[in-house]
Amino acid sequence: MHENIQKLKHSEFTDIPTRKGGLKPSRFSVAPMLDWTDRHCRYFHRLLSKEALLYTEMVTTGAIIHGKGDYLAYNEQEHPLALQLGGSEPQALAHCAKIAQERGYDEINLNVGCPSDRVQNGRFGACLMGEAALVADCVKAMQDVIDIPVTVKTRIGIDEQDSYEFLCDFIDTVVKNSECDHFVIHARKAWLSGLSPKENREIPPLDYPRVYQLKKDFPQLMLSINGGIKSLEEAKQHLQHVDGVMIGREAYQNPAILAHVDRELFDQTAPVTDTVEVVKALYPYIEQELSRGTYLGHITRHILGIFQGIPGARQWRRHLSENAHKPGADIMTVEKALEMVTERM
């Protein structure tokens, strides 16, 4: 076994203190997804599951510090809610983390996994796996100014640096130089050139056993697994080896999966959420947002997949897709689409 693993397993880090802020690491979370997990999406997902930990889209430190919009806006109903930050300057990250804590976020997550060219040009995302000491400095800078947990979402490797030893060295360095005790591991390596972000989610092979081994070698850490997980049955299998499961695209494209999370992964006595009732429960939120000038389509694009596999689902999607973007589209548009499902039940 690699000497750093042996060293860490027998070091003072064996007893990492209880997480700051009192937020328990979630057994299940919905992944941060750029252009998808905005505040409307998260409000909808919270109606489906009370227990899932929700993440924002990645927000850069530059957007928060210099942007004209409010990139930290959210609804109080979204808790527990984590902010994913993109950046590599410790002082800027600390500044943004402090603002986020003041705004009420429950966790800060540092993006060390996104492989896009734009992100690399900003010197953050997956390229930071090659700068473990800097990642540790970033995490420590945030921990020094806030009381809520700081976590890291990363890959299992980058480019030709994809050995298990490399992954262990990265984790070892971050843990030894900060109090980070929770990593979310996307079980694919990232190619920093030659592949698009979409291809990086599909082409590099998944290596779940590597993440399982990481948990065995770093038992004192809390590890969540991410990448290619499409069902709660798969999630249960992973939870036999790691502490948490993060699902991304499947949760977005087939959000009905979230209706079963609380019962299947948290409390067997919890009711399964009724998806029709969830759509109706969204009405007051929609009306409130419309009164503030939000376009209906900005909300309904996140709920198109809720009835996947149910009679009337195609008509539901078509009606919303064709009408929600029209001027004056309101709650009646959603009600009409819902009738196309309920009349077939």
What is the per-residue pLDDT across 111-142, written as a single tens digit (0 to 9) for each? 999 887 666 666 778 899 999 999 999 999 99
Evaluate whether 26 touches 51 at the Cβ level (below 8 Å).
yes
3-state secondary structure of 144: coil
Question: In the prediction, which pLDDT does 221 show?
Answer: 96
Cβ partners under 8 Å of residue 272, min gap 6: 259, 260, 263
What is the per-residue pLDDT across 32-74, written as a single tens digit (0 to 9) for each? 999 999 999 999 999 999 999 999 999 999 999 999 999 999 9
Q: DSSP character for 263?
A: I
Read off the pTM: 0.92
From the number of C-beta atoms within 10 Å of its C-beta (0-12, 13-18, 19+), residue 8 rates as: buried
Binding site per annotation, positions for FMN: 32-34, 84, 153, 186, 226-228, 248-249
Residue 201's nearest CA partner among 188, 214, 211, 192 is: 188
What is the per-residue pLDDT across 222-271, written as a single tens digit (0 to 9) for each? 999 999 999 999 999 999 999 999 999 999 999 999 999 999 999 999 99
User: Which pLDDT band holds residue 15 (cuts at 50, 70, 90)?
Assistant: very low
pLDDT above 90 covers a percentage of the chain that reads: 83
DSSP per-residue string spanning 84-110:
EEE---HHHHHHHHHHHHHHT-SEEEE
Does 301 score more than 70 pLDDT? yes
Binding site per annotation, positions: 32-34, 84, 153, 186, 226-228, 248-249
What is the per-residue pLDDT across 136-162, written as a single tens digit (0 to 9) for each? 999 999 999 999 999 999 999 999 999
Angle at 74 between CA 137 and CA 151, to 5 degrees: 25
Domains and CATH numbers, the chain: 26-264 (3.20.20.70), 273-341 (1.20.120.1460)
Does 13 score more than 50 pLDDT? no
Does 200 score more than 90 pLDDT? no
Alpha helices of the chain — where are they, by DSSP H?
Answer: 3-9, 39-48, 61-66, 90-103, 117-121, 132-143, 164-176, 197-200, 208-217, 232-238, 249-253, 261, 275-281, 283-291, 296-300, 313-323, 331-342
List the catalytic residues: 114
User: Rounded to an integer, what distance in angstroms lies between the CA atom of residue 43 and that of residue 40?
Assistant: 5
